[in-house]
């Protein structure tokens, strides 16, 4: 999520409009395939925010003025005409120079207005360190929409109530009789059963994504594709539910919770299988799915818990608020305020999240860097041992053990690849930041008698 806002609205634009190079008679053009989502409902900002999605899927936040300017750009109106139309809608005088500045310095840089050389242009994105890498489509939008329509009835209030009541009753029996870990321990030394639990866990993850898609459709939005990729260092599934920004907070929260809700339905299905067979593998799988739910609800990184907190606070991009929150804690910044000020409740929620999340992530990063040599040696030794075990399993025709050992090798190799890619991303960011600082530190040589702002 990218946030774009003018510097103190029209007044600041008017002060520096002389920097705009666009002529008042110029005719700007929209970037291709923009989608206007309208006002962000349930916003935690003091001023309204409006959302627009680019052709690459990135959602951009705009202030009211920028949204009005963007909506008047149709490839036929020039800047003077746009300024007149915006003045009527905005209720304040907006000049062609103001529009020129906003187009050139606010809308073009984030890829919402076409520029020269758009074919070779790399559009700016946010949260690059937290982006899903190497993503591949598993189900296209048409297939996902078919599944979402077929499963949408599961989100009806009566069905949700029955599912949650049944899950609570079964969990009470399960944890009261077997404890929190017993069924999992019982399958650790049985490769075939452990492989079955792992397979059922994968099915639960896929079904989890169906929950997001069906909740998105039930809420009145259009789900996109389902795919997979590497998030940070681990493989991850995802569902494109960006369209849910069109609907209100209730629909967004339903979509956020749709995944763990479908995990709960999956648990009830496993419970039914256990009742019918009395096989302990289903109890072990139920506990495995519970761990999946707990992992998803953690709000530290961009999993379900993160989006739940973001929608409750009314701030679409929590990571984008880290720098403003931290700098806003300084006395001089706190006294001055800024255009992106949050409402009191949202500010408290987001500040609390920032003060907890930033130390946690930094602590994990320091721990990882400090222990990286030992972790590397351990991983190499483990992979070597598993490869030997695979050879032994092949010789003895132990196919279940072979499969588990191969999965274990993948679970060690994939994070190593992800960690390497993440390290390259960090190195690239630090090197670019160093170059920018060096450039800014050089003394500027301007012709005598001219002044730069």
pLDDT averaged per 10 residues in sequence order, the chain, 453 residues:
52 47 74 89 88 86 91 88 90 88 89 70 52 76 95 96 94 79 66 79 94 96 88 80 91 95 96 89 89 90 90 88 81 54 87 90 80 76 79 77 75 68 64 62 42 35
Note the pLDDT of residue 11.
47
Q: Six-digit token pair at 325?
A: 């929150």
As a whole number of angstroms, the distance between CA 172 and CA 178 comes to 10
Residue indicated by tokens 């390497």: 420
Residue 51 contacts residue 245 (beta carbons within 8 Å): yes
If you write DSSP's letter for every residue of 260-319 in order, what string do you get? HHHHHHHHHHHHHHHHHH--HHHHHHHHHHHHHHHHHH--SSSSHHHHHHHHHHT-S-SG
CA 344 to chain centre: 24
Query: Residue 167 belongs to what H/E stretch?
Result: helix 157-178
Query: What is the three-class DSSP state of 204?
Result: helix
Note the pLDDT of residue 158.
96
Note the pLDDT of residue 216.
95
Residue 22 contacts residue 100 (beta carbons within 8 Å): yes
Indicate the pTM of the whole model: 0.79
> Is the dihedral angle over the CA atoms 216, 314, 135, 372 positive or is it negative?
negative
Q: Which residue pairs from 166-173 have beta carbons closer than 8 angstroms and sit at least 24 positions apart in sequence?
A: 166/268, 167/264, 167/267, 167/268, 170/267, 170/268, 170/271
Q: Give, in degrees to the nearest 5, the angle at Cα 114 between 111 and 116.
A: 115
Note the pLDDT of residue 132.
63
């Amino acid at each position: 999520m990218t946030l774009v806002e003018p510097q103190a609205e029209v007044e600041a634009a008017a002060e520096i409009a002389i920097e705009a190079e666009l002529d008042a008679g110029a005719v700007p053009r929209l970037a291709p395939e923009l989608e206007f989502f309208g006002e962000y409902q349930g916003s935690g900002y003091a001023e309204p925010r409006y959302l627009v999605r680019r052709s690459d899927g990135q959602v951009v936040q705009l202030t009211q003025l920028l949204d009005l300017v963007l909506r008047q750009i149709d490839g036929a109106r020039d800047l003077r005409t746009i300024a007149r139309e915006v003045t009527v809608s905005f209720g304040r005088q907006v000049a062609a120079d103001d529009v020129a500045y906003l187009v050139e310095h606010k809308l073009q840089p984030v890829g919402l207005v076409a520029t020269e050389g758009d074919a070779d242009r790399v559009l700016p994105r946010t949260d690059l360190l937290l982006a899903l890498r190497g993503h591949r489509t598993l189900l296209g939008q048409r297939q996902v929409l078919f599944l979402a329509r077929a499963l949408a009835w599961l989100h009806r209030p009566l069905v949700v109530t029955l599912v949650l009541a049944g899950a609570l009753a079964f969990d009470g029996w399960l944890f009261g009789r077997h404890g929190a870990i017993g069924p999992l321990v019982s399958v650790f030394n049985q490769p075939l059963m452990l492989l079955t639990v792992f397979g059922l866990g994968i099915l639960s993850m896929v079904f989890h994504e169906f929950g997001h898609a069906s909740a998105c459709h039930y809420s009145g939005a259009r789900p996109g594709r389902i795919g997979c990729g590497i998030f940070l260092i681990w493989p991850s599934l995802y569902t494109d539910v960006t369209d849910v920004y069109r609907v209100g907070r209730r629909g967004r929260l339903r979509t956020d919770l749709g995944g763990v809700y479908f995990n709960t339905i999956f648990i009830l299905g496993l419970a039914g299988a256990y009742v019918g067979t009395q096989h302990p593998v289903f109890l072990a799988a139920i506990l495995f799915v519970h761990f999946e739910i707990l992992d998803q609800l953690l709000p530290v990184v961009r999993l379900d818990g993160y989006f739940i907190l973001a929608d409750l606070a009314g701030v679409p991009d929590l990571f984008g608020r880290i720098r403003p929150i931290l700098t806003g804690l300084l006395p001089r910044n706190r006294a001055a305020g800024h255009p992106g000020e949050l409402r009191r409740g949202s500010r408290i929620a987001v500040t609390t999240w920032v003060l907890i999340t930033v130390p946690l992530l930094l602590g994990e990063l320091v721990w990882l860097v400090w222990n990286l040599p030992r972790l590397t040696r351990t991983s190499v030794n483990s992979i070597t041992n598993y490869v030997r075990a695979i050879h032994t399993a092949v010789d003895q025709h132990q196919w279940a053990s072979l499969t588990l050992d191969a999965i274990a090798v993948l679970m060690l190799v994939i994070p190593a690849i992800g960690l390497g890619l993440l390290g390259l991303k960090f190195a690239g960011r630090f090197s670019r930041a160093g170059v920018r600082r060096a450039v800014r530190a050089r003394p500027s040589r301007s012709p005598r008698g001219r002044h730069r702002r």
